[in-house]
Amino acid sequence: MKIKVRMGDPLGEDRRSRCFSYKFFASDTLTVARALLGAYLVRTIDNQRLSGIIVECEAYIGQDDTACHASRGRTQRNQVMFGPAGHAYVYFTYGMHWMLNVVTEMEGAPAAVLLRAIQPVEGIQRMRELRQLRGKVRKKQDLTSGPARLTQAFAIDGALNGADMVTGETLRLEPGASLSAGAVEKGPRVGINYADEKDRLAPWRFWIKDNPYVSR
């Protein structure tokens, strides 16, 4: 399912006047992850808006989830996960990629939703320019179809770790269209072979059915 959007911002000021609440992010992580599908990730760079519709994400929940960074206890790297909900948890992985998460649940209960893919809406040419720094983009679906591609296209790195994604000006999440149950699929998370079997098999990855921007 590809969400149809017009050039520019499809919902204009109506969407921009609405926002998520800290209470929303402080709730159950699986509920938040499912609800973020169809929402917008917004990044402002040099007074230019870049935005896209979230089409894929994953939930990581607490110290009992062996796929979650918090399973190793509180560290300098993951301390943002233990903080207030609605803030960005940005970390470096494989020595080459940044990953963007939004913190969920109550403070002290470490959990987050990893944003895996978006469908670009605003600032697409700027995204292309940013992605070209990492190599040629051959297909438009390749622009943001994956967590590393997403952060490259939105110029997201460790400087945004801890950023407020509810009221922040440079990075935030905005509500979008709600999706029917039939438009959403779920299954095991990606790239967590190190985790226990129960966590590898947990259906905590959510994506919009048939959307071409979902990661492969």
pLDDT score for 146: 95
3-class DSSP state of 8: coil
pLDDT score for 94: 77
The amino acid occupying position 118 is I
Give Cβ neighbours of residue 176 (< 8 Å, ≥ 6 apart). Answer: 11, 15, 38, 39, 40, 53, 54
Instruction: Let me know the angle formed at the C-alpha of 3 by 22 and 55, rounded to the nearest 5 degrees.
Output: 50
Q: What are the residue boundaries of the structural domains of the chain, listed by start?
A: 24-208
Among residues 1, 6, 2, the alpha carbon closest in space to that of 121 is found at 6
Tokens of 51: 């935005």
Q: CATH second-level architecture of 24-208?
A: Roll (3.10)
**142-181 burial, b if ≥16 CB within 10 A, otherwise e?**
ebbbbbbbbbbbbbbeeebbbbebbebeebbbbbbeebee
Over its length of 216 residues, how does the chain's per-residue pLDDT go in tens digits? 766 654 445 445 555 557 899 999 999 999 999 999 999 999 999 999 999 999 999 999 999 999 999 998 999 999 999 999 999 999 998 778 999 999 999 999 999 999 999 999 999 999 999 987 555 656 778 899 999 999 999 999 999 999 999 999 999 999 998 899 999 999 999 999 999 999 999 999 999 999 999 998
